[in-house]
Amino acid sequence: EQEKQLAVLAGLRSTLVKHWQSLGEAPEEETMRDSGPISDRVARCKEAIQKAEAVIEERVATRTVSVDETKRLVNQLGGCDFEDAGSQSLLETVMHGGADLEALGLSPEALSRIDRLLELVREEKGRRAEEFNRLQRVISQYRACIECPDSEDLPEVSKVEAERGVDNDSTLTLDVMVATKEEVGLKERQLEDAFHVCLGKTRQIWDDVGKDQSGRDEFLEQLEGLEGIPRYAKLHREYRNQHRKMECLRPLLAKIRERENLVQKMSEFEIRASDPNRLRSRSRGVFKELQEEENFRKKIKKQYPRLREDILRLVVEWEGLEGEAFVYQGEEYRPKLESEDVKSLLLHLKTFDSKTAKAKVQ
């Protein structure tokens, strides 16, 4: 009976040693000491085994949580590559599980290594998530610029947030990161195309508002020092400012074009009226033409001075609002208009006297 009890004790001690080896610790000396009745020694071993198994269960649960979380994150990331060979080897062991994982044991050092591995994986996810969010924000900023209508000001790009962000279930595989970077590249090219379109429109509106060449060159030189969104934003602001100026100028420019048309017609009238050969015909067409010229003469003498006064008034209003001289086609317009000799201009319309002409024709 004593031999049987000793055999049981030996088996219990062997199990206890394995448990504590797994835990990376040594059993208590009291438990392994050969003193006292065998029954007491067996009881002490059984109690120690229960304590060790409780610790094992606790540490296995802790390890399982860390291992499962590591696997989940690594799967979200589509794998991780660490420069440190030890970390990479441990990652492979954790991912494959089985006997290799069990061989690591449940020592505090082994659990600490797994916890540190989990932290490395979390850091990698954090790095990718930060990069993903940054790229998504850039995409949203590009889109805000590209899709902004010409009739509206650009939103404050620095405050544009990402339309798509990272959550706990987001997949941040290398393929996703590559695809996101490719989308950024696509938006960059689209922004470049939008820039050139906006530049063409800006040049056209510069022509319409009469922006001087030195001002154009200075602005274009400023653009050369920028790129991407800041360059496009600066150009779009210039276009919008010039467009607003154009809206203010629209009535004024309409009057200026009306004046140019009248001056052109007056020049053509002068050429026709100064041609004496047109009086040699006695056809009815000559009388009709003379009547039209007489009506044109009367109309111009009333219309032109009034149109000129309207233009001067609008120019003065515009200069008062803008705080600068109104420039049209590279030349200050008001001095040009004020120096015009209206009486002399209208006098040219009298080059041909219609009453005398009618008499000669008759």
pLDDT in tens, 223-232: 999 999 999 9
Query: Which residues have a Cβ under 8 Å from the Cβ of 48 and sit 6 or more positions away?
Result: 16, 27, 28, 31
Which ranges constitute the DSSP H helices of the chain? 2-22, 29-32, 38-77, 85-96, 98-103, 108-146, 174-209, 213-224, 228-273, 284-322, 333-338, 342-347, 354-361
pLDDT of residue 186: 96
**Confidence class for position 359, pLDDT limits 50, 70, 90:** very low
**Confidence class for position 62, pLDDT limits 50, 70, 90:** very high
pTM score of the predicted model: 0.61
**Confidence class for position 278, pLDDT limits 50, 70, 90:** low
Q: Pairing relation of β-strands 327-328 and 331-332?
A: antiparallel
Structure tokens at 145: 């610029």
Angle of CA points 96, 99, 101, to nearest 5°? 60
Is residue 275 pLDDT above 70, yes or no? no
Structure tokens at 260: 């140019």
Q: Across all residues in the chain, what is the average pLDDT?
A: 84
pLDDT in tens, 213-224: 999 999 999 999
Is residue 357 pLDDT above 60, yes or no? no
Q: Compute CA 110 distance to the chain's CA centroid, rounded to the nearest angstrom.
A: 47
pLDDT of residue 294: 76
Distance CA 150, CA 238 (A): 11
Is residue 61 pLDDT above 90, yes or no? yes
